[in-house]
Each structure stands twice: as C-alpha cells, then as structure tokens.
Amino acid sequence: MVQKIFAIALVVLLSGCASTYKHSELKQASEQLDPSRGVLIAVPEDGWYGDTRYQRSGQMTANAALAAFSKNAKKVDLTDRCEGAECLEEIDSQEYGYFVEPIILHWEDRATEWSGKPDRIEIQLIVYSTATNRQVANSSFTGKSSWFTFGGDHPQDLLAKPADEFVRGLYR
C-alpha cells in the first residue's frame, strides 16, 4: 500500500516537472529551406511584462534562433543594425538567402518556486526569402515553465526546444 501511494505521488510530482509548449502556424512554410543558403537573424526588441522590461531578452531570443538555425544552415549570423522587414532592403541576397525576424510577444519571469506561477513566453518567428522579399514561414510558440522547479529557471530556458522543432521542420 505504501509503495502504491509513493508511486502515485511520484507520478503527480513528475507530471508537474515538464515545461509545456504550444505551436501555431500563422503561415505554413511555402518551401523547404536550402541549408547551403545563409540565414541572417535580427535581434528583436526586449520583452516585457506589465511595467517590467527584461534586459537582454531580445538578445537571448536571437541567440536561441541562431542556435536552432546553426544546426541546419551552413552560415548563420545576427544583426542589430536594422529592425523587422526593413532589414530586407539592406541584405545581400547572395550572402543570405533567408532573413529571420523574431518578435517577443510576451515575456514573463516569475518566482515560480515559491509563487507557483510559471514563467511564460510567446515568440513569433517570421522567415523571409531575400530573393523575393516574401514570407516563407510565419509561426509562433508559447512556452510555460513547470510549476515544480528547483529555482533558477527563467523564460529564456523555454526558447531552445520549440525553436529547434520549428527550424528543423523548415529544413525537412
């Protein structure tokens, strides 16, 4: 009987240990990306929640996109010289075949370990072809940390898994 109660408690405890993600295709990928073509990723504006602006969250988001694209493309770089689709006017399409515009829609860092309120993010990734200046894909994902943490979890910890899955799908 004690073993059964322990097993049930362990299952309940472990089910609260996983972060959850939801992915939404805003524009289905219109083409498979070519891994031999370079990718340029813009650094988005920092995220916020209420009156709190989260310093360097834009850089962390760009870094997560960089890591995901680097697993699939031969050349991947970041830029903070321009913002949004205006970057398309400045990109050398021979060097970069794709431009990625990450947008932080929501960034919420909570003291989950004592409040029980999870960290949350919502990120939109828009991929453009630099040859045509048209969107190739447009997707967003949300992430929510588990309610059971050992401390030290942050919204940026929710970026890698959904970014990797989205980018891997673009190169299938």
Segment 119-142, tens digit of pLDDT: 888 999 999 999 999 999 999 998
Predicted model pTM:
0.82
- Domains (range + CATH), the chain: 19-170 (3.40.50.10610)
Instruction: Give 35-75 pLDDT, tens digit per residue.
Output: 999 999 999 999 988 888 989 999 999 999 999 999 999 99
Residue with more model confidence, 163 or 19: 163
Are 71 and 167 spatial neighbours (Cβ–Cβ below 8 Å)? yes
